[in-house]
Structure 1
Amino acid sequence: MTDEMIVIGAQTKYPLNGILAFPEESNKLIPGVVLVHGSGPSNMDEKVGNIYPFKDLADGLSKKGIAVLRYDKRTFTYGKEMKKDSALSVKEETIEDAILAANFLREDSRIDPNQIFIIGHSLGGMLAPRVDAEGGNFAGIVIMAGSPRKLEEILIDQNNQVLHSLNKFLKVIASKQIAALSAKLENIYNLSDEEAKTTKVLGKHVRAYYLKEMGEHPSAKYLLALNKPLFILQGEKDFHVSVDNDFNGYQEILGDHPKVKYKLYPNLNHAFMPSVYGEIRKAKKEYNVAQHIDQQVIQDISDWIHSVSRSIITN
């Protein structure tokens, strides 16, 4: 395989460096994949601590005959100026660049333009059906550790997980902080867009508008409208999203849809690597342990993509 340095959105205000991992020369057109990051600024490898999930996916899938495109997230490269944008939403942060990346693959003469897939991880998984609907037009969608819920619901759940692990004294303080945050988040849909753009809800930079805009485009709406192959996978020891609310939540929405596959992996965490500490309070320590994505996960995604590709060619 070869790694080709590329630029996504070269003619736009926000060009992004990326890598196209390409298999050894093939005498036929091959499938292509766009990797879409989780939350927060992230480089093309989706580096957190000492793990590199997107590099693992790109290396693993390209060895199995699939071209994989990864790129720096817009907030990673242009974070300082984007923090000042009161109207920032997932559209500017993630969706626009994922669509540009899909089109980049379609223009590569070595790749079948009808076999472009998206793999979204975490927040990227939550957004993947919307990316598809707003111009991605993918052959199939892979959601890794995503959620059909609203982002603010997940944030409150994560805070409550931390709360339960604290001692009695700290619990009193933290519970008041979480109650105040919950009240803020519950009110965001009562705000006008202009009010939401001036209301900070998390830290110094996250405004209510970011959550409001995303919440007004619920995953369920896009999932129910989908009629294309979908692969939903999650690690059983994931402490960022939960099996009950998220993995099972997808099944409650989609049921036994014939084009949807689900898989839950024992003892794997949010990055699809072996669980180390298994609790959200130790997330930083968890990701400081150098590991790689479980090979079974890469094999399963590869098998699923090739299966969908064969059905496209046959039809």
Structure 2
Amino acid sequence: MLAPRIDAEGGKFAGIVIMAGSPRKLEEILIDQNNQVLHSLNKFLKVIASKQIAALSTKFENIYNLSDEEAKTTKVLGKHVRAYYLKEMGEHPSAKYLLALNKPLFILQGEKDFHVSVDNDFNGYQEILGDHPKVKYKLYPNLNHAFMPSVYGEIRKAKKEYNVAQHIDQQVIQDISDWIHSVSRSINTN
């Protein structure tokens, strides 16, 4: 998510690979993740969880009203995540950096990723960048957020999913390698 901004602010990369990223604000992604869990709960737990999500949503809505100093001391998630982290990222939307890019970009995502979504995130990149000639997109069937085969395929079982010992799918590694070589070749011929 941050690679286009890092590049724009001095990274000077030859190209960028975005794996399981998002052009959206982090708080939007977090609310979507919470709503995914909500829809999988029984009726009683849904009532409790929907109140918690509403409270979290209210915290997120207020982030941009805080001064930087207030945001640095305001906890929004657990003991450690402060509002400033989300505020600072949200004030620098990745779409702005993506639209200004004129270098190779490779956007990859697993189809079974439950942390970011195909509709909102992978397709979101395509809505922003369209058929830009230097952008390549690849969606991998049955791979999760870590680009490993999906075991359970649902956010409620994330801990179990990531406790299964496995490796990044070999095709992902090969595709990234091939893309880097193609970028290198195009740089060396120019």
TM-score when normalising by structure 2? 0.98
Q: Distance in 1 between matches of 2:148 and 2:80?
A: 31
Q: Distance in 2 between matches of 1:289 and 1:204?
A: 28
Per the TM alignment, residue 194 of structure 1 is displaced from its structure 2 partner at its CA by 1.6
Q: Distance in 2 between matches of 1:295 and 1:281?
A: 26
In structure 2, the residue corresponding to 1:264 is in which secondary structure? strand
Per the TM alignment, residue 247 of structure 1 is displaced from its structure 2 partner at its CA by 0.1
Count of aligned positions: 190
Q: Distance in 2 between matches of 1:284 and 1:205?
A: 20
Q: Of Structure 1 and Structure 2, which has the larger fraction of its residues in helix?
A: 2
Q: Distance in 1 between matches of 2:173 and 2:73?
A: 42
RMSD: 0.7
Per the TM alignment, residue 198 of structure 1 is displaced from its structure 2 partner at its CA by 2.0
**Which structure 1 residue ranges, 4+ long, deviate > 2 Å from structure 2?**
none
TM-score when normalising by structure 1? 0.60
Per the TM alignment, residue 205 of structure 1 is displaced from its structure 2 partner at its CA by 1.8
Per the TM alignment, residue 149 of structure 1 is displaced from its structure 2 partner at its CA by 0.2
Cα displacement string for residues 32-55 of structure 1 (whole angstroms, at most 9, x for unaligned residues): xxxxxxxxxxxxxxxxxxxxxxxx
Q: Distance in 1 between matches of 2:113 and 2:158?
A: 10
Aligned with residue 234 of structure 1, among 109, 123, 131: 109
Per the TM alignment, residue 134 of structure 1 is displaced from its structure 2 partner at its CA by 1.5
Aligned with residue 179 of structure 1, among 45, 48, 54: 54
> Greater RCO between the two (CA within 8 Å, min separation 6)?
2
Per the TM alignment, residue 173 of structure 1 is displaced from its structure 2 partner at its CA by 0.4
Cα displacement string for residues 64-87 of structure 1 (whole angstroms, at most 9, x for unaligned residues): xxxxxxxxxxxxxxxxxxxxxxxx
Q: Which residues of 2 match residues 122-133 of structure 1 at below 5 A?
A: 126-133=1-8
Q: Distance in 2 between matches of 1:237 and 1:204?
A: 30
Partner residue in 1 for 2:178: 303
Q: Distance in 2 between matches of 1:153 and 1:163?
A: 15
Q: Distance in 2 between matches of 1:157 and 1:133?
A: 28
Bigger mean CA offset, 145-154 vs 203-212: 203-212
* Fraction of identical pairs, as percent: 97
Per the TM alignment, residue 204 of structure 1 is displaced from its structure 2 partner at its CA by 1.5
Q: Of Structure 1 and Structure 2, which has the larger fraction of its residues in strand?
A: 1
Q: Distance in 2 between matches of 1:270 and 1:205?
A: 23
